[in-house]
């Protein structure tokens, strides 16, 4: 062990470490193939894609930090948001086309709230656009919001189809489109929030989340790492709920015509 590693607590992962990690995934994929589970190809593809994307993003963030330019930071965040829109629409199943503007608005609102409240009021980095904070925390937020939003939209439109006759009856009895869609909206938001709330509740007892574990491994004070992790998880939970609620408000009208009739063709 080098003096640098011993003094800082940093334990670099070399090519052998990456190779062993990929080999472990390959073994598990082989087990899937033997048991005919049918997930080995997707698992191997996702693993290699993740490795390439994370290493590429690591190099990008490295140079963004070196440049230390706010315009470059926000340009990168804009690219991340555009990619998040595409991923959200791809992950969501059985949703109508043309929802990209609603997803864009939802993600943009969450990012603005995170930057203005979390980064500038809670963390307060110097400079205010510190790339190491701005880019990484935005990435963590978008990852969670994308997953929750996709789940919420998928659940909403499938639930509306299952409730078709109930919705039509409520409309016939004088209910507004929002009143008819409200049960599906509530169920969708709850479904989208389940993983986030579960992670928040289990953190520190069952789970040591990635940010805290990474900081501790890198030699940071465990108590400070715990504070950072709490802020991240709590804010992600709050903004995920805001995102799920906002996307439902923005998309529920697509299930109805201009004459407030249920659209069974979706």
Lowest mean pLDDT among 63-67, 176-180, 204-208, 234-238: 204-208
Contact between 243 and 106 (Cβ < 8 Å): yes
Mean pLDDT of the chain: 88
Distances (CA, A) of 256 to 9, 87, 259, 262: 58, 26, 8, 5
Spell out the long-range contacts of 209-218 with Cβ–Cβ below 8 A and sequence spacing 24 or more: 209/233, 211/140, 217/9, 217/10, 217/11, 218/8, 218/9, 218/10
Tell me the three state secondary structure of residue 110.
Answer: helix
Q: Two tokens at 44?
A: 């191997």
Residue with tokens 């899937």: 32
Closest CA to 123 of 236, 68, 196, 115: 115
Q: Note the pLDDT of residue 210.
A: 75
Whole-model pTM? 0.82
> Does residue 2 have a pLDDT over 70?
no
Is residue 175 classed as helix, strand or coil in its secondary structure? coil
As a whole number of angstroms, the distance between CA 37 and CA 224 comes to 42
Reported confidence tier of residue 266, pLDDT bands at 50, 70, 90: low
What are the angstrom distances between the C-alpha of 222 and each of 124, 188, 214, 217?
20, 36, 10, 9
């Amino acid at each position: 062990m080098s003096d640098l590693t011993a003094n800082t607590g940093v334990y670099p992962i070399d090519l052998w470490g990456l190779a062993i990690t990929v080999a472990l995934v390959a073994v598990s994929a082989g087990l899937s193939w033997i048991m005919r589970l049918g997930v080995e190809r997707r698992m191997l593809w996702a693993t290699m894609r993740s490795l390439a994307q994370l290493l590429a993003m690591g190099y990008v963030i490295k140079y963004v930090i070196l440049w230390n330019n706010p315009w470059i930071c926000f340009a990168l965040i804009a690219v991340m948001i555009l990619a998040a829109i595409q991923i959200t629409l791809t992950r969501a199943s059985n949703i109508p086309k043309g929802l990209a503007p609603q997803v864009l608005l939802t993600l943009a609102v969450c990012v603005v709230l995170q930057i203005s409240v979390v980064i500038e009021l809670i963390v307060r980095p110097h400079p205010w656009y510190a790339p190491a904070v701005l880019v990484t925390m935005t990435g963590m937020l978008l990852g969670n919001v994308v997953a929750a939003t996709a789940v919420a939209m998928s659940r909403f439109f499938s639930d509306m189809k299952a409730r078709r006759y109930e919705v039509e009856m409520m409309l016939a009895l004088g209910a507004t489109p929002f009143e008819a869609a409200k049960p599906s909206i509530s169920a969708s938001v709850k479904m989208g929030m389940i993983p986030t709330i579960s992670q928040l509740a289990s953190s520190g007892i069952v789970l040591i989340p990635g940010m805290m574990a990474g900081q501790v491994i890198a030699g940071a004070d465990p108590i400070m790492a715990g504070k950072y992790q709490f802020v991240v998880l709590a804010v992600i939970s709050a903004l995920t709920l805001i995102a799920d609620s906002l996307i439902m408000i923005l998309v529920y009208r697509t299930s109805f015509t201009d004459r407030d009739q249920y659209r069974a063709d979706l």
